Amino acid sequence: MADKVFTVLDLLDLDLKGHNSLNLRCISGRKGLVRRISIPDLNRPGLALSGFYDFFAYQRCQLFGKGEIAYLNKLLQEHNEDNIRQLFTYEIPCCIFTRNLEPPKEFIELSDEAGCPILITDLESTEFSTRLLRVLSNIFAPVKAMHGVLVEVYGLGIIIFGSSGVGKSETALELIERGHRLVAVDIIELRCVNGNTLIGKGANQVISHHMEVRGLGIINIGQLYGVGAIRDQKEVQLIVQLEEWDTSKSYDRLGTETNTMEILGVKIPKLEIPVKPGRNVPIIIETAAMNERLKSMGYFSAKIAEVVDYEELEGYLKDLKEYYCFAEDEGKGIRRVSVAKKNHKDEEIFSFRMVAEPDSFGKWKIFSIEREGKE
């Protein structure tokens, strides 16, 4: 993060639109626009203005709202400028005033002397803080470039990896033909935002939607299929590794194990799909995307039924002295049983999907046990 060179002038030059717009303008201290912003965070300098400069976060942008403005005016009325002068002895990146609030004349003069830029925005303090932190987190996020194809399938961001010639581009082309969208081809720039979200986009935005197909050459997906077939960036939620079919390798045939791949500290579910003539890989990826969405909703298609006895079921209910029990037949010999505490709307709910009748040993087959909305 410290190696990232980002100045106040870069902040003013950002081309942000819509809900990301910061609406910033500089009113003084322009010679300090080259000051670096090294930490993607804000600081409210109320304590510093009161004279407490221990642990003062001067490396951050200083945000002034209505409270700070009122306190500044009070200090100036009392002819107490020492705390304000001490503020500018630190190498502050910039001071930002919200709500179009004009700083006092004396404050502007002191900032000009120190070469500290003063910026003004018409946004409220809370809204501006949210926008600026979102922008800075994207700018200072860790970045990694990887070779592959990033597509959006049923709203899910999927990266297709594989060795050269395995069929990544052809698979992506078939997915686009089926109505899905292309995000990036060849070099994908992956950015870790907020420490737990992986955002992917093309490393070169000019050619990110151009695809090279052997025997055909370079094609422009946006022009061929329209703007509805492309998008600029997408969160990565699934990784598909294409590989040549290896007869000596054992592939997962149940889907009960969850493999992951860690990129920039974020673990992403990963599937290994063997490729050979006759296998329709695009359909497999579509199915994988829908199955992944089902998993996010708490339903695992490959989960094998467990066998538990009635005493084990009672263990789930031992703390419930009074409860309601609801049963509903789902058909095909399956019954859903839900249990909720009496007179407690927000208490935990147990839900069982089980066979309608016990077996000859007096045991029930439980297909899923949900507690607090999770399996």
Instruction: Enumerate the active-site residues.
Output: 147, 168, 186, 253
> Are the C-beta atoms of 140 and 264 separated by less than 8 Å?
no
Three-state SS across the chain?
CCCCCCEHHHHHHCCCCHHHCCCCEEEECHHHCCCECCCCCEECCHHHHCCCCCCCCCCCEEEECHHHHHHHHHHHHCCCCHHHHHHCCCCCCCEEECCCCCCCHHHHHHHHHHCCCEEECCCCHHHHHHHHHHHHHHHCCCEEEEEEEEEEECCEEEEEEECCCCCHHHHHHHHHHCCCEEEEEEEEEEEEECCCEEEEEECCCCCCCEEEECCCEEEEHHHHHCHHHECCEEECCEEEEEEECCCCCCCCCCCCCCEEEEECCEEEEEEEEEECCCCCHHHHHHHHHHHHHHHHCCCCCCCCCEEEEHHHHHHHCCCCCCEEEEEEEEECCEEEEEEEECCCCCCCEEEEEEECCCCCCCEEEEEEEEECCEC
Alpha-carbon distance 156 to 286, whole Å?
10
Contacts of 369 (CB under 8 A, 6+ apart): 316, 350, 351, 352, 375
> Are the C-beta atoms of 246 and 274 separated by less than 8 Å?
yes
